[in-house]
Amino acid sequence: MFKRKVMNENEPLNEEILEGEPVLRTEDKRRFNEQGERIREDQVEAKVPVRSSGEIELETKLKAEVERREAAEAKLIGVQAKFEEAKAGLEKETADMRSRLMKTLEDRAKQGQFNFLSQLLPVLDNLNLAVDASERDPSIEHLRTGVKGVVRSFEQALAGVGVEAVPATGADFDPELHEAIDMAEVDAELDGKITAE
């Protein structure tokens, strides 16, 4: 039926390709050295594909861009580390400053309380003296004079810490500034006015 032809390797292949028949392509992977001896496949050096100058140029540009990007990322990481370090330092400094400020404010408040109370002590002494004097001398006039002295010393103590009297008699009542102690019946023109301090 079919005749098999034995071919020699050196003999050129003369086959006619008929139209419509599929062409089978093969790659000869056999390798031979200069003496004609066959070389094993694992001994064959890999072929380096030939690249065009455009490919080489693009590859060079790509490598340069990758290096530039890696350098920029390293620089960014360094800058971010410096930022985090500076941020941590500023947060610590702010916390320290806040605690120093709170301590200073507490010290000032305590000093202010001490100053105010030390100015009120003479008022208390004067009140005690007035009580002692009223027990020795039943005259109401001496008691009145003693109480007036206590009022003066109390006003001086308040003035020493910056408290001032606000003249209010005859002014319109303002709950932001004044405190109502009592209400009294007055004429229509004095309605809503402060009548006494």
Residues 57-89: tens digit of each pLDDT? 999 999 999 999 999 999 999 999 999 999 999
Confidence check: pLDDT of 15 > 70 = no
Checking if the pLDDT of 187 tops 70, the result is yes
CB distance 144 to 154 below 8 Å: no
Q: Looking at residue 44, what is its pLDDT?
A: 55
Contacts (Cβ under 8 Å, ≥6 apart) of 85: none
User: Tens digits of per-residue pLDDT, 138-179?
Assistant: 778 877 888 888 888 888 888 887 878 777 777 887 878 777
Mean pLDDT for all residues in the chain: 80
Instruction: Look at the pTM and tell me if it is higher than 0.85.
Output: no
The confidence band for 1, taking pLDDT boundaries of 50, 70 and 90, is low
What pLDDT score does 63 carry? 95
Where does the pLDDT of residue 7 fall: very low under 50, low under 70, confident under 90, or very high at 90 and above?
Answer: low
Ordered by where they begin, the domains of the chain are 53-165 (3.90.20), 167-197 (no CATH)
Using CA atoms, how far apart are residues 140 and 134, in angstroms rounded to an integer?
A: 8
More confident residue, 30 or 146: 146
155-177 residues labelled b (16+ CB within 10 A) or e (exposed): eebbeeeeeeeeebeeeeeeeee
Hey, how many other C-beta atoms are within 10 angstroms of the C-beta on 146? 19
Q: What confidence tens digit (pLDDT) does each residue in 87-115 have? A: 999 999 999 999 999 999 999 999 988 88
Instruction: Please give the residue that has the higher pLDDT: either 196 or 13.
Output: 196
- Identify the pLDDT of residue 70: 95
Residue 134 near residue 142, CB atoms below 8 Å: yes
HEC per residue, the chain? CCCCCCCCCCCCCCCCCCCCCCCCCCCCCCEECCCCCEECHHHCCCCCCCCCHHHHHHHHHHHHHHHHHHHHHHHHHHHHHHHHHHHHHHHHHHHHHHHHHHHHHHHHHHHHHHHHHHHHHHHHHHHHHHHHHHHHCCCHHHHHHHHHHHHHHHHHHHHHCCCCCCCCCCCECCCCCCCCCCCCCCCHHHCCECCCC
